[in-house]
Structures are given as C-alpha cells and as structure tokens.
Amino acid sequence: MKHTVSEITLSNGGKGLLINVPDASVMTFDINFRAGEFLVDPDKWEVPHLMEHVVLGANELIPRARDFQAELERNGAYSNASTSVYDIIYEAECADFEWDRVFDLLLVAITRPLFLEEEFKAEYGNVQEEMAARTNNHFRRLSLEMRKQLGLLVKTDSERLKLMSNVNINDIREHYLRTHTAKNMRFAIAGNITPKRREHINNVLEMIELSRSGRRFMLPHEHPNRLSRSTYIHNKTVENLYFYIDTFRKRRLSDPEADALNLANTMLTETLYSKILGTARERGLVYGMSSGLSQTRDVSNWWLGAQVSDKNAPALMHIIISELKKVMEGSISQSDISATKQYSLGRFQRSAQTVGGTAAGYSGRYFFDGVIEDYYNIPNRIEAVSKQMIVEAVRSMFADNIWGFGVLGACGKPFSEQLRKQIEPLWAAGYKKTKI
C-alpha cells in the first residue's frame, strides 16, 4: 500500500512510528514495552505472560474484563496482546470511523488496569490451559528444549506450568510499575493519519498516564554453545519424527548479509520447487519443511525443520547436505538466483496489501533495535544481492561451528545420533573465503 512513515519522539521519552496510508478504511495500533521474561527472576518466569493477560481486562473506566472487551469490540474492532522473552505488545485494529474511540480505550487498559484478584485467578486458569495446549505442539516442544540446551533465554512449557504457582498478583503489579513507563514505550500506528489525527495522537501520547521515570531496557546478551549430542525427546505416540537444525553466527548480520541469506533460504526450502524441499518432494520423502532466520542482540540464527518418517530421514538429510554444500561451493546458477529474486519480490509486495501488513513491515525491526526500514528500497536490496553474497552468507552461518540438532519421536536416541553424525560435516567443511 502507498504510505509514508515518520518517527515522533515524545517529551516523556516515548518513541514511535506513524504510518500514513491515505484513504485506508482501518487503523491499527501496536504498543510495545520491553517487559519480557528476561527481566524477571527465573523462578517468576510467568509474571510477564500473566500480566499481559490481566492488563487488557478490568480498568478504572470499565471495572469488569468482559464488559471492557464488549465495549472495545462492539463495532467489530479487534484487540489482543502477546508476550515474548523480550517484549509485551498490545494491539488493536478497528474501522476508520471509530479509530479515536478504540485508541482511547486501548490506552485506558494499558495505563489504568485494576489488577483484580478475581481476574488474576481466572486468567491464571486460562494461562494454564494455554500452556498445556502448547505442550501438544511437537515442533514447539522440540524447539524450546533445543534452545534451552543451546544456552538461550528460554523455558519449556512444562517448566513454565510448574513455575506458575510462584507468581502472585503483587508480582504482576510490581513488574507493571517497573516496565510500563513512558521511556520504555514504543509504538507503531498505521492508517489514514491526517494532520489533525497526527496532532491528536501526539497530544494523547504526550499526556499518557505512565511514569516518566524508568528507561528503555537493553536486550539481554545471549551466547549459544555447540551441542555435542543430539537433543532427543522420546514420544511413543508420534509415528514419524520431528527434527530441527539450528546453526549460529557469533554476530548479527548486516542488512546485505541478511538479504543474501534470506534469498538462500527461499531458494533452498520455501517453495515446492526449492532445492531441498522440491527435490525431497519429487522423491516422495517429505510433505513440507519450515525454515527461517532470527537474530538476538549478539548472534544470528538460521534454522530448518520438518517431520519425516524414520525410513526417509537419512535420505532427506543427504539432500540437505548436498544442496547446502552446492551453495557453499558456488554451484548455483544465475537463473536460479533470478527466479528466487522474482519470487521474493512478489512475496514482499503481497505482504503489504493491508494496513496491518504494512505496519508489520516496520514494527518488528523498530521494536527490536530502533531501526526504521527503508521500505521502498527493499526491492533494490533484493536485486542487489549477488551470487558471491549468497555463498558467503551461507558459509558464514557454518563457520563458527555453533549448532544443534534435535529429534522428537520414537526412533530412539541412537538413531537421532546417527542423523546428527550424518549432517556434522557441514560445519567441518572449512570452506575458504575465496571468490566464486
């Protein structure tokens, strides 16, 4: 969608983006606080998550959670919140005609929660159900266990369920007061932001009822270690096996490096005709795969995973090894690179068909490190990626020899070790940083 973006810095220390999408029929609001689990005692891990559930509930204006939700959503508006290791994000989306009403209600919930004991008890039960349901997600369970063993800031859902009993309503109140300050607030608001609306938004946020003390918390340092054995979770009810491969680089990627690695990721796994997934499907080995890039304050991570039958797993690993080695050796054609660029460009254009999609193109990076993406330059960045850049980006993700392999299923620990040994040469290849 055609749009313009600007950053405003408030006198109270808050910052955010206003994304003007002329004539848009909806408005979206994302309010971020650096308030995730890394800021609490490990024994109180579930404090931020429970707090997020209670904040969008009873408040000084409407002292009953159901009544508040009914009022906010009465014209079809949507609201929600999410918690991660780093952040809590409150969000809302509404029709353009009621943007100011919904915006004001969202801010009332964030700034004037009552933290009622009875609502805490109710949400405590809801969070228990949520966490118990998550334990049925095999990919999630394996990923969390692997990341715990790698040394990243994470707890498994089973651990979190056990730790919930350590949390009381006073813990939530204390965490709220510590983290929900104006200086710790970031926001991204998108829609038809006319000059009059911009002035209203600025004035409301300047006067927001949050403490002006506090600070924007820095992201934590995380330094993963190499796993010398496979992570194996036995589950006799699983007929096939789930696996993940995680590899890390000991620094964050630059934008050009990330662009190149994203293209490599697309080329290898993201389409039904990609080098790894396409070849595997052609041979009837696997139905689908997932993969992606992520970054923390200190490191970059590239991962891929799938569920596959025990009998097909070695053949799939062989394809993964073969195709990755081809890239690291420079055995990729210019036609493959061009086709991948075209696919990536089309996906980028599709991602911004809605106001929410356009806002998401900015908010993730902005909330993470304060960088405002040059959205209209992304097609040029995609086109600028060269073969050499792709080769070097992929090589770099294996050069530091920090990685892990995990399996969930009933195949047994020896078989999971066999698969790990099969892929280990990827990190021992020692590819030289030579021109291709």
Topology at the third CATH level for domain 4-206:
Cytochrome Bc1 Complex; Chain A, domain 1 (3.30.830)
> What's the pLDDT tens digit per position in 320-348?
999 999 999 999 999 999 999 999 999 99
Distance CA 373, CA 366 (A): 8
Instruction: Give the per-residue pLDDT at 435.
Output: 60
Q: What is the pTM of this model?
A: 0.94
189 and 94 Cβ atoms separated by less than 8 Å: no
> What's the pLDDT tens digit per position in 370-415?
999 999 999 999 999 999 999 999 999 999 999 999 999 999 999 9
Pairing of strands 15-20, 185-191: parallel
Query: Cα 425–427–433 angle (5° rounding)?
Result: 115
- Comparing 4-206 with 231-428, is the CATH topology the same? yes
Distance CA 163, CA 41 (A): 11
**CATH code reported for the domain at 231-428:** 3.30.830.10
For the chain, the structural domain boundaries read 4-206, 231-428
Residue stretches of the chain with pLDDT short of 70: 429-436
Tokens at residue 123, please? 């949400």
